[in-house]
Chains A and B, each alone.
Chain A
Amino acid sequence: MMKKLIGAAVIILLWNACKFNEQKTLPIAGNRDVVTKTADGKTVTDTVYQTIPAFKFVNQYGDSITNKNLDGNIYVADFFFTTCPSICPVMHRNMLTVYNAFKDAADVKIISHTIDPSHDSVAVLKKYADKLGIAGNKWWLLQGKKEDTYKLAASYLVSSPQVDAKEKYIHDGYFILIDKQKRIRGQYDGTVPEQVTKLIEDIKTLKAEPDQTTAK
Chain B
Amino acid sequence: MKLKVISGICLLLAAFLYSCQSEDELEFSRYYSAGNVIYQNKCQNCHGKNGEGLSALIPPLTDSVYLKAHKDSLSCYVKYGLKGKIALANKTFEGEMPANDLAPIEIAEVLTFVTNSFGNKMGTITSQHVGDDLQKCK
The CA-CA distance from A183 to B48 in the complex, in Å, is: 33
Q: A93–B98 contact, CB under 8 A?
A: no
* Residue in B closest to A96 when the chains form the complex, CB atoms: B55
User: Which B residues lie within 8 Å of A191 (CB)?
Assistant: 45
Q: Judge whether B137 is part of the interface by a CB distance below 8 angstroms.
A: no
Q: Judge whether A169 is part of the interface by a CB distance below 8 angstroms.
A: no
Q: B57–A85 contact, CB under 8 A?
A: no
User: Which A residues lie within 8 Å of B44 (CB)?
Assistant: 90
With A90-B45, A93-B48 as contacts: A85 and B54 at CB distance below 8 Å = no
Residues from 130 to 184 in A contacting B, C-beta threshold 8 Å: 130-133
Q: Judge whether B105 is part of the interface by a CB distance below 8 angstroms.
A: no
Total interface residues in chain A, CB < 8 Å? 15
**How far, in Å, is B29 (CB) from chain A's closest CB?**
28
Q: Judge whether A52 is part of the interface by a CB distance below 8 angstroms.
A: no
**How far, in Å, is A90 (CB) from chain B's closest CB?**
5
* Residue in A closest to B52 when the chains form the complex, CB atoms: A93
The CA-CA distance from A128 to B57 in the complex, in Å, is: 7
Q: Judge whether B58 is part of the interface by a CB distance below 8 angstroms.
A: yes
Q: Judge whether A213 is part of the interface by a CB distance below 8 angstroms.
A: no
Q: A132–B54 contact, CB under 8 A?
A: yes
Q: B45–A92 contact, CB under 8 A?
A: no
Summed over the interface, the residue pairs from A and B with CB atoms below 8 Å come to a total of 31
Q: Judge whether A87 is part of the interface by a CB distance below 8 angstroms.
A: yes
Q: Judge whether A86 is part of the interface by a CB distance below 8 angstroms.
A: yes
Residues from 45 to 59 in B contacting A, C-beta threshold 8 Å: 45-46, 48, 54-58
Q: A89–B56 contact, CB under 8 A?
A: no
* Residue in A closest to B58 when the chains form the complex, CB atoms: A89
User: Which A residues lie within 8 Å of B54 (CB)?
Assistant: 89, 92-93, 96, 132
Q: B56–A131 contact, CB under 8 A?
A: yes
**How far, in Å, is A108 (CB) from chain B's closest CB?**
20
User: Which A residues lie within 8 Å of B46 (CB)?
Assistant: 85, 89-90
Q: A85-B46, A90-B44, A131-B57 are in contact. List 7 more A-B contacts (CB 8 A).
A: A89-B45, A89-B46, A89-B54, A89-B57, A90-B48, A128-B57, A191-B45
User: What are 14 of the A-B contact pairs (CB < 8 Å)?
Assistant: A83-B96, A85-B46, A87-B45, A89-B45, A89-B57, A90-B44, A90-B46, A92-B54, A93-B54, A130-B56, A132-B55, A133-B55, A133-B56, A191-B45
